[in-house]
Amino acid sequence: MNILIMGASGTIGQAVIDRMGSDHDMIRAGRQGQDIQVDMTSPESIESMFERLDRIDAVVVAAGGAAFKPLSELTPADNDTAINSKLKGQVNTVLIGQHHLSDGGSFTLTTGVMVDDPIACGASASMANGGVETFVRSASFELGRGLRLNSVNPCVLDESWSKYGKFFPGFETVPAARVGMAYQKSIEGCQTGQIFYVR
């Protein structure tokens, strides 16, 4: 398969490449993408990326930012980061990408543990993740040509603890290798409309 990974240079993107890179052709995307550049906050950039690519059989979005702030300090502008990136960036990738993906192809989006297990300073990211998961569950049934749509919802990765750990007191971390397996299940398996939890 030709697998497009938006966020390929990140911790999760690398986990997907480590798991699947020996069996498939991986196309690495990001703002400084190794193979192709894309800014997921821009629908025009997403459209241009798909137009520049040949056959794509699977898309992984392992990217999406959000402001982590106490609610009393969170401004509408701060909240727009999660809306434009995590939420609209992932949803727009499906809306645009559905017209470019090969028959029977798949989208795998990324959410996270805070959807179901809230943390302080996480309201904005949780909001976006919740929107993504709701979109996955309902949009998956309307995709044509055998296209599938799932999301992976990991807890904090072992490899990301130094970056995010202070926001997740008492949470158990998960190894990147197990997170990579959840993406493999979504891409190589048959399920759609699913949230694959990694806990």
**Residue 161 CB partners (closer than 8 Å, separation 6+):** 173
Applying CB under 6 A, among 19, 20, 26, 30 the residue interacting with ligand NAP is: 30
Question: Cβ closer to ligand NAP: 12 or 101?
Answer: 12
Answer for which of 27, 58, 59, 62 binds ligand NAP (CB under 6 A) is 62
Q: How many residues bind ligand NAP (CB under 6 A)?
A: 29
Note whether 194 and 186 are within 8 A (CB).
yes
Cβ contacts of 133 within 8 Å, gap of 6 or more: 111, 115, 151, 153, 195
110 binds ligand NAP (CB under 6 A): yes
Q: Smallest gap, in angstroms, from Cβ of residue 85 to ligand NAP?
A: 6
Judged by CB under 6 A, does residue 139 bind ligand NAP? no
Are 60 and 93 a contacting pair, CB within 8 Å? no
Q: Give which of 125, 99, 83 is closest to 46, Cα–Cα.
A: 99
Tokens coding 39: 């800014």
Q: By CB under 6 A, tell whether 3 contacts ligand NAP.
A: no
Q: How far is the CB of 144 from ligand NAP (least distance, A)?
A: 26
Which residues are near ligand NAP by CB under 6 A? 6-13, 30-33, 38-41, 62-65, 85-86, 110, 112, 154, 156-157, 160, 164
